[in-house]
């Protein structure tokens, strides 16, 4: 979105629509019963923002309406691009419904051609209620608070014909460095011969005149980029790829690197990398999911202070602005489609699977050019131990492999001893909470060794193995001589034990993602909230305001020491 340090478009005219829009809380009403022209906009709301993170609407759920005016030209192809809207929305221009969209955390667009010039009324109906039919991917039992609103930026694109729909890059080889570029294009009229140019930084790599004979298509080229420097966590070199087709352009920042798994290791450009990191929710008590750049920068600074080279984007696609920072800082990312403990009820439901496939399309489209994204994940802690769920896992994992064969795929499993889907993934990822939900801190080494020995004797011995969640709750500021659960001391002691055993007493683990970076609000429903003091998941190394707990320094010292070896 526009707030990046490079502009995705220079030739294409793009207008940011962020700011303060008209707003109305409509309440518990059916969107299909709404007459847009009858809405009385009595309030105002920031875009991007989560309206239910603001004082007037905190904790409230219902249908809301946003409105602003946009300048349109008759006969011109225009595109509204939304960075993310939660959980469901309907886009209306001058009373005409352009489209609905379900599912937050991914970008989507609506293309239209006005029949008049002037100011047009843009209204967006947004619903943060739970509705398994309209928004099947946002379910109330998940262990994070589902904020609602227009949570990432909105843009108005004025399209030239032909225009570039999207650009996908893959590192074809690293020696010599070569890039595969796929350009999906579209056109509102037959255009004939147009210029086609690929440029990396200031160097033109390819210049052709091509004839487009249909209204859409794909161009694919492989170009050698001998001057390019490779991307790696320790040396995160980036380059700017510019694609020009006709009078339209599309610019993406890329990093040349290849990810493989071999002999229990994760390799980047052929070098084994040990992933040391955290799970990170996109949450803040004042901003919900709509983190301003200042918070993104603060999080990036603390991730660097922790010494991480890995973030699992739990449990949904990450803000592209955060991925930009990870690209620059050499932080590897597990990009995950939304999901949380789904059983057969969802994984055998064709509508749920269809919604997941659409969501995965959007996630990959947005994240595929980020070198920091080294792996894809789905269906956190879902029922991979239930044979009835296997077809659902196959459908989503196979779809990821088709969309992007260049990255390994995984899912976080919390049933290691009876999982029936592990053969479907490249990296085995285990969520476990020894010393918190089961046993004591002294039981952690045996618990981890038991997982390793079971997996290595049940067909997974050749794969990289990571612990994708492990941790303990600590109430910020609670330091008590007894050092029992919920104290900062207990959390620090547990994590010190985990890291020491995983990386000093063992050599089997390719990575660790501590649960979790920061505390985050959880749903108010009982009974879970009775295990979530303050109504928050308190397993963060920092609290929700990013104030470090004792464990922060313990993890930081351990991670920096490990990364120096």
Note the residues at the interface with ligand ADA (CB under 6 A): 143, 315, 380-381, 431, 469, 515, 537, 539
DSSP 66-79: EEEEEEE-TT--EE
- Nearest distance, CB of residue 440 and ligand ADA, angstroms: 17
**Closer residue to ligand ADA in complex, CB, 255/471:** 471
**Closer residue to ligand ADA in complex, CB, 489/537:** 537
CA dihedral angle for residue 448, residue 449, residue 452, residue 453, rounded to 10 degrees: -150
510-546 residues labelled b (16+ CB within 10 A) or e (exposed): bbbbbbbbbbbbbbeeeeeeeebeeebbbbbbbbbeb
Ramachandran assignment for 309, one of left (phi > 0), alpha (psi -120 to 50 degrees), beta (any other):
alpha
- Nearest distance, CB of residue 131 and ligand ADA, angstroms: 22
207-246 residues labelled b (16+ CB within 10 A) or e (exposed): eeebebeeeeeebeeeeebeebebbbbeebebbebbbbbb
Return contacts of 442-451, CB within 8 angstroms, 24+ apart.
444/494, 444/497, 444/498, 444/501, 445/497, 445/501, 445/505, 448/498, 448/501, 448/502, 448/506, 449/506, 451/416
**Closer residue to ligand ADA in complex, CB, 381/386:** 381
- Nearest distance, CB of residue 203 and ligand ADA, angstroms: 45
Pair 269, 244: CB distance under 8 Å: no
- Nearest distance, CB of residue 16 and ligand ADA, angstroms: 33
Q: Identify the CA nearest to 42 among candidates 13, 18, 15, 66.
A: 66
**Closer residue to ligand ADA in complex, CB, 108/433:** 433
Find the distance separating the first CA and the last CA of the chain, reported in whole Å.
Answer: 38
**Closer residue to ligand ADA in complex, CB, 91/413:** 413
- Nearest distance, CB of residue 314 and ligand ADA, angstroms: 6
**Gyration radius from the chain CA atoms:** 24
Helices marked H in 320-349: 320-329, 344-347
**Closer residue to ligand ADA in complex, CB, 77/318:** 318
**Closer residue to ligand ADA in complex, CB, 334/515:** 515
**Closer residue to ligand ADA in complex, CB, 258/279:** 279
- Nearest distance, CB of residue 283 and ligand ADA, angstroms: 11
Nearest residue to ligand ADA, by Cβ distance, number only: 143
- Nearest distance, CB of residue 315 and ligand ADA, angstroms: 6
- Nearest distance, CB of residue 193 and ligand ADA, angstroms: 54
């Amino acid at each position: 979105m526009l707030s990046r340090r490079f502009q995705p478009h220079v030739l294409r005219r793009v207008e940011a629509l962020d700011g303060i829009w008209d707003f109305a809380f409509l309440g518990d009403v059916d969107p299909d019963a709404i007459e847009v022209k009858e809405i009385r906009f009595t309030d105002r709301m920031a875009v991007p923002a989560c309206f239910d993170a603001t004082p007037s609407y905190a904790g409230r759920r219902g249908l809301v309406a946003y409105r602003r005016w946009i300048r349109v030209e008759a006969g011109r192809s225009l595109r509204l691009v939304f960075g993310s809207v939660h959980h469901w929305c309907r886009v209306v221009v001058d009373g005409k419904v352009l489209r609905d969209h379900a599912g937050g955390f991914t970008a989507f667009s609506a293309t239209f051609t006005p029949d008049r010039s002037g100011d047009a009324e843009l209204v967006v109906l947004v619903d943060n209620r739970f509705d398994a039919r309209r928004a099947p991917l946002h379910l109330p039992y998940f262990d994070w608070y589902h904020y609602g609103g227009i949570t990432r930026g909105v843009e108005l694109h004025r399209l030239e014909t032909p225009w570039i729909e999207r650009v996908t890059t893959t590192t074809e080889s690293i020696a010599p460095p070569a890039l595969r570029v796929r350009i999906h294009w579209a056109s509102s009229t037959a255009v004939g011969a147009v210029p086609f140019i690929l440029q990396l930084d200031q160097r033109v790599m390819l210049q052709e005149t091509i004839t487009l004979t249909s209204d859409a298509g794909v161009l694919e080229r492989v170009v050698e980029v001998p001057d390019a420097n490779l991307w790696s966590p320790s040396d995160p070199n980036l380059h700017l790829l510019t694609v020009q087709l006709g009078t339209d352009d599309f610019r993406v920042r890329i990093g040349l690197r290849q990810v493989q798994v071999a002999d229990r290791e994760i390799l980047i450009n052929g070098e084994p990398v040990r992933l040391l990191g955290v799970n990170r929710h996109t949450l803040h008590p004042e901003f919900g999911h709509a983190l301003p750049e200042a918070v993104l920068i603060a999080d990036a600074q603390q991730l660097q202070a922790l010494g991480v080279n890995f973030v699992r984007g739990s449990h949904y696609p990450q803000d592209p602005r955060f991925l930009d920072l990870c690209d620059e800082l050499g932080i590897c990312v597990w990009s995950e489609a939304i999901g949380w403990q789904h059983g057969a009820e969802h994984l055998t439901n064709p509508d749920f699977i269809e919604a997941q496939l659409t969501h995965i399309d959007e996630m990959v489209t947005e994240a595929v050019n980020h070198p920091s994204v080294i792996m894809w994940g789905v269906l956190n802690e879902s029922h991979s131990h239930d044979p009835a769920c296997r077809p659902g896992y196959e459908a989503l994992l196979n779809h990821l492999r088709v969309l992007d064969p260049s990255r390994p795929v995984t899912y976080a499993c919390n049933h290691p001893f009876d999982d029936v889907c592990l053969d479907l993934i490249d990296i085995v990822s285990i969520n476990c909470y020894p010393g918190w939900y089961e046993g004591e801190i002294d039981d952690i080494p045996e618990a981890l060794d038991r997982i390793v020995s079971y997996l290595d004797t049940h067909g997974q011995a050749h794969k990289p193995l990571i612990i994708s969640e492990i941790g303990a709750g600590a109430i910020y500021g609670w330091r008590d001589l007894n050092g029992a659960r919920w104290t900062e001391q207990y959390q620090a002691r547990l994590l010190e034990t985990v890291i020491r055993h995983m990386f000093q007493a063992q050599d089997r683990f390719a990575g660790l993602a501590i649960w979790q970076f920061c505390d985050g609000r959880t749903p108010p429903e009982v009974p879970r909230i009775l295990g979530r003091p303050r109504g928050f998941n308190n397993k963060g190394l920092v609290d929700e305001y990013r104030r470090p707990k004792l464990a922060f320094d313990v993890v930081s010292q351990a991670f920096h020491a490990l990364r120096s070896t």
